[in-house]
Amino acid sequence: MNNTARSEFPNPQFKREKWLCLNGEWDFEFDFGVSGKDSGMLQKNEWSKKINVPFCPESELSGIGYKDFIPAVWYRKKVTLSEDDVKGSVFLCFGAVDYESEVYVNGKLAGTHKGGYTSFKIDISDFVTPGENTIIVNAVDDTRSPIQPTGKQSIWYNSIGCHYTRTTGIWQSVWLEFTSENYIESFKVFPDSVNACVSLSVNVKGTGTLNADVFYEGKKIGSMSKSGSTCIFGEIHLSETHLWEPGNGRLYDIILSFCGDEVKSYFGLRNISLDGYKFLINGKSVFQRLVLDQGFYPDGIYTAPTAQALEDDVILSMNVGFNGARLHQKVFEPLFLYYCDKHGYLVWGEYPNWTSDYSDPRLVDVITNEWVEAVERDFNHPSIIGWCPFNETWDYEGKRQRNELLETVYKITKAIDKTRPCIDTSGNFHTAFTDIYDTHDYEQDVIIFKERYDEFKNGGKLYDKVNDGNSEYKGGPVFVSEYGGIKWSVGSEGESWGYGKSPDDEEEYINRYKGLTDTLLDNDKMFGFCYTQLYDVEQEQNGVYTYRRKAKFPPEILKKINSRKAAIED
Boundary (domain end) residue, out of 121, 156, 179: 179
Residue 236 sits in a domain of what CATH number?
A: 2.60.40.2550
The pLDDT tens digits for 19-30 are: 999 999 999 999
Instruction: Say if residues 313 and 292 touch (Cβ distance below 8 Å).
Output: no
The pLDDT tens digits for 155-189 are: 999 999 999 999 999 999 999 999 999 999 999 99
> Which pLDDT score is estimated for 2?
52
- Are 58 and 152 found together in one domain? yes
Do you know the residue count of the chain? 570
Question: Is 517 inside any structural domain?
Answer: yes
* Local structure of residue 42 (DSSP, 8 states): G
CB neighbour class for 47 (10 Å; exposed up to 12, middle 13-18, buried from 19)? middle
- Are 268 and 290 found together in one domain? no
Question: Is 490 inside any structural domain?
Answer: yes
Q: Give the separation between CA 104 and CA 76, rounded to whole angstroms.
A: 9
Question: Is 122 inside any structural domain?
Answer: yes
515 membership: H or E segment, kind and range: helix 506-521
- Are 126 and 205 found together in one domain? no
- Are 122 and 158 found together in one domain? yes
Report CA torsion sign: 317, 323, 328, 333: positive
> Which pLDDT score is estimated for 469?
47
Q: Pick out the chain residues at pLDDT < 50.
A: 466-469
Instruction: Say if residues 499 and 444 touch (Cβ distance below 8 Å).
Output: yes
- Are 148 and 208 found together in one domain? no
Distances (CA, A) of 381 to 249, 287, 327, 347: 11, 20, 14, 10
The range of the structural domain enclosing residue 205 comes to 194-272
* Angle of helix 307-319 versus helix 334-343 axis, rounded to 10: 40
- List, in order, residues 6 or more apart from 379 with CB less than 8 Å away: 188, 189, 416, 417
pTM flag (> 0.75): yes
520 membership: H or E segment, kind and range: helix 506-521
- Are 258 and 299 found together in one domain? no
Distances (CA, A) of 267 to 18, 188, 386, 495: 22, 10, 16, 45
- Are 246 and 306 found together in one domain? no
Question: Is 377 inside any structural domain?
Answer: yes
- Are 236 and 347 found together in one domain? no
* Residue of 413, 428, 508 whose CA lies nearest to 470: 428
* Residue of 425, 427, 384 whose CA lies nearest to 408: 425
Counting the structural domains of the chain, the total is 3
Boundary (domain end) residue, out of 224, 239, 272: 272
- Are 225 and 260 found together in one domain? yes
- Are 264 and 403 found together in one domain? no
> Which pLDDT score is estimated for 394?
73
Question: Is 8 inside any structural domain?
Answer: no
Residue 63 sits in a domain of what CATH number?
A: 2.60.120.260
Question: Is 14 inside any structural domain?
Answer: no
- Are 412 and 347 found together in one domain? yes
Residue 398 sits in a domain of what CATH number?
A: 3.20.20.80
Boundary (domain end) residue, out of 218, 237, 272: 272
Question: Is 6 inside any structural domain?
Answer: no
* Residue of 29, 328, 56, 303 whose CA lies nearest to 167: 56
> Which pLDDT score is estimated for 474?
78
- Are 552 and 435 found together in one domain? yes
In the chain, the amino acid numbered 213 is D
Instruction: Say if residues 201 and 132 touch (Cβ distance below 8 Å).
Output: no
* Residue of 337, 414, 418, 331 whose CA lies nearest to 382: 337
The pLDDT tens digits for 352-410 are: 998 888 888 899 999 999 999 999 999 999 999 999 999 998 777 777 788 899 999 99
* Burial readout 184-195 (b: 16 or more C-beta within 10 A, e: otherwise): bbebbbbbebee
Question: Is 154 inside any structural domain?
Answer: yes
Q: What would you report as the CA-atom Rg of the chain, rounded to the nearest whole angstrom?
A: 24
Beta-sheet pairing, 261-267 with 252-258: antiparallel
